[in-house]
Structure 1
């Protein structure tokens, strides 16, 4: 969000620090996106802020990765279970977030406009909020699938999943519309946060919502970890072999949970924390340095939740075979063999 951060324009700022800050803010006399700047600052050695380029590249990778996941789930009839519905929601949200990062770059450096910037920021807020909300929904679904394993595969579960998605996307859309409907600092620059044109109050609400979701996910994953350990212990007792089997199963489940939650926390915690403690006068490079890792979470999500899944791997294989071998007879025979070979051999925590 290149015009998002406020810039300290005091004369005590070193020239190179002021240049980096002005580049990160995307200041321009034409669109008035810079709050203040010093006339003694030398011209920038590059026309485009490199942080914006990295965000645009990140958005492109995110969009491509998640577009493949969405296409696979949409065109594969067997992937209609609650688990894949939630994975599809996550991939859709991350796909929109990647597209939003690309649009943000275009609107800031090609079609510069305050209105376009406001709409883009609202679009990004809604997309990332939907991504985090979908991660919470997946966590809740995983907990209930392990806690109520006997009744999980039922129509009631699918209705419950649809209800969670309606709440998730409804809340995300509401958060994204807040700045567009008037909760922004375009009229009062002094009320801007580190992410312009969001106000400090708006950004505080978003950060507080993230910490609440993260705490809930942490609590659910702790309970999932206990269930996984208990199930592994019961399986080991039934097999009359308590030792290496129990240790491997428990270690696999715990390590998977650590990867899932650790990746999410490492990506978003720095930016969420800086949203609470940062001020608009701080150099914009701090905002970029914490925002860029947050976008990596949407880049890693398809790998953790989709590409590691055996059924999606087989569906991707069928899709690639149909692209390179368009013969219908061949495609049909491959699809039948793959569907007949599908079995639940992926990590139960991810599935």
Structure 2
């Protein structure tokens, strides 16, 4: 009797409140490999891979090797040179760390693409895409934090902000926490494994709604950072013009804020140029643009993204003479095996130069008005 009553109650509940989750789980495909999802998205094994995949891997591995080595050199330069022990350079080192992660992600991608993609398990694919998404999120978050740090320092007309090491450490931890979370979002449930009709084409187990959110969010952050740097650059140009008309101090000292800002603006510009096309393609895929022929551009935009991580350490070295001198010194240390002696000499020279510039700055500040000091 009780069982009959329970069955009757369950029928009434289902008629009033249908349970879509229970029915949708019957159509989940957690036991499938990626080939199942690629076939649904009409992505077949590429025929060009047998002739070109080896060349693609060789070129990609060369780029990735440069990315790994160059960014390790940038991080080591920041650690070993006392003149880089400021919030701005700590954040630059963290940006280099995100590029280092991107190099690892690209290496993993190179050997898990083409026909191999169809044999991947769901977790292997989530790992492949998660590494890329985490490195992109880390780069984007780092650039945003650097933009805010530059804004604070420039608006106070200082070369470096007053952020303590503890606050910088917390910012870096926050950047990586957010980045790891953003890279893990699809694996946490925002996917189409249980709703095949919502699957995207470029990322077959990512839902189109996620691609729309991901691309729009990143593009909006791009616009915010560009607006910040336009505001900073306009303010610096105006302030520098006023200082030039009222003081005759050290020209190098007065150009330092502009040089730092130009370096970061160049990095930001390259980042936007290299990543915007790929984000636009993901947005079109999320909007289900069937006439856009998106698969044709997928590999080219991936190489463009790799190029961004290649160019960043080159920009640091080209735009910052002190950074390039430190990196050359480190390379000589590796070759000669006298790293400690050369590092101590470099730090002594750096301390002497820094004290000289500080004395020059103090003499110049006496000639400036209180509200025009650097």
Which bracket does the TM-score occupy, shorter chain normalised? 0.7 to 0.9
Structure 1 Cα separation of the partners of residues 322 and 135 of structure 2: 26
Structure 1 Cα separation of the partners of residues 258 and 74 of structure 2: 28
Alignment match, 1:68: 73
- Highest Rg: 1 or 2? 2
1:235/1:45 CA distance change after superposition, 3 Å: closer
Alignment match, 1:348: none
Equivalent of 1:174 in 174, 181, 186: 181
DSSP-derived class of the 2:84 partner: coil
Give 1:206 deviation, angstroms: 1.4
* Cα deviation 1:293-340 (Å, max 9, x = unaligned): 233222222222455323322322331232233347853663355424
Structure 2 Cα separation of the partners of residues 98 and 42 of structure 1: 24
Equivalent of 1:46 in 46, 50, 60: 50
Structure 2 Cα separation of the partners of residues 311 and 249 of structure 1: 12
Alignment match, 2:333: 322
Q: Tell me, yes or no, if structure 1 residue 59 matches structure 2 residue 64.
A: yes
Structure 2 Cα separation of the partners of residues 189 and 47 of structure 1: 33
Structure 2 Cα separation of the partners of residues 208 and 170 of structure 1: 21
* Cα deviation 1:9-58 (Å, max 9, x = unaligned): xxxxxxxxxxxxxxxxxxxx9944631599x9996572554795355554
Alignment match, 1:34: 38
1:141/1:291 CA distance change after superposition, 3 Å: same
Identify the range of structure 1 (267-276 vs 287-296) with the bigger mean alpha-carbon deviation.
Answer: 287-296
Equivalent of 2:134 in 98, 105, 126: 126
Structure 1 Cα separation of the partners of residues 272 and 45 of structure 2: 38
Identify the range of structure 1 (199-208 vs 301-310) with the bigger mean alpha-carbon deviation.
Answer: 301-310
* Cα deviation 1:140-169 (Å, max 9, x = unaligned): 111111112359553x44444334323322
Give 1:268 deviation, angstroms: 1.7
Structure 1 Cα separation of the partners of residues 112 and 72 of structure 2: 22
Show the 5 A alignment for 1:131-280: 131-149=139-157, 152-154=160-162, 156-193=163-200, 194-239=202-247, 259-278=266-285, 279=288
Alignment match, 1:24: none
What stretches of structure 2 of length at least 5 have no aligned partner? 1-32, 358-374
Q: How many residues align?
A: 310
DSSP-derived class of the 2:130 partner: helix
Alignment match, 1:95: 100
Give 1:342 deviation, angstroms: 4.5
What stretches of structure 1 of length at least 5 have no aligned partner? 1-28, 346-351
DSSP-derived class of the 2:112 partner: helix
What is the RMSD computed on CA atoms of the aligned residues?
A: 3.8
* Cα deviation 1:241-289 (Å, max 9, x = unaligned): xxxx9xx999979976763443232112211222212348544122223
Give 1:217 deviation, angstroms: 0.6
Contact 1:204–1:275 at 8 Å: present in 2 too? yes
Give 1:185 deviation, angstroms: 3.1
1:221/1:31 CA distance change after superposition, 3 Å: same
Contact 2:71–2:313 at 8 Å: present in 1 too? yes
Q: Tell me, yes or no, if structure 1 residue 313 matches structure 2 residue 313.
A: no
Structure 1 Cα separation of the partners of residues 46 and 206 of structure 2: 29
1:208/1:326 CA distance change after superposition, 3 Å: same
1:37/1:136 CA distance change after superposition, 3 Å: closer
Structure 1 Cα separation of the partners of residues 161 and 258 of structure 2: 27
Contact 2:215–2:280 at 8 Å: present in 1 too? yes
Contact 2:71–2:97 at 8 Å: present in 1 too? yes
Structure 1 Cα separation of the partners of residues 136 and 77 of structure 2: 22
DSSP-derived class of the 1:146 partner: helix
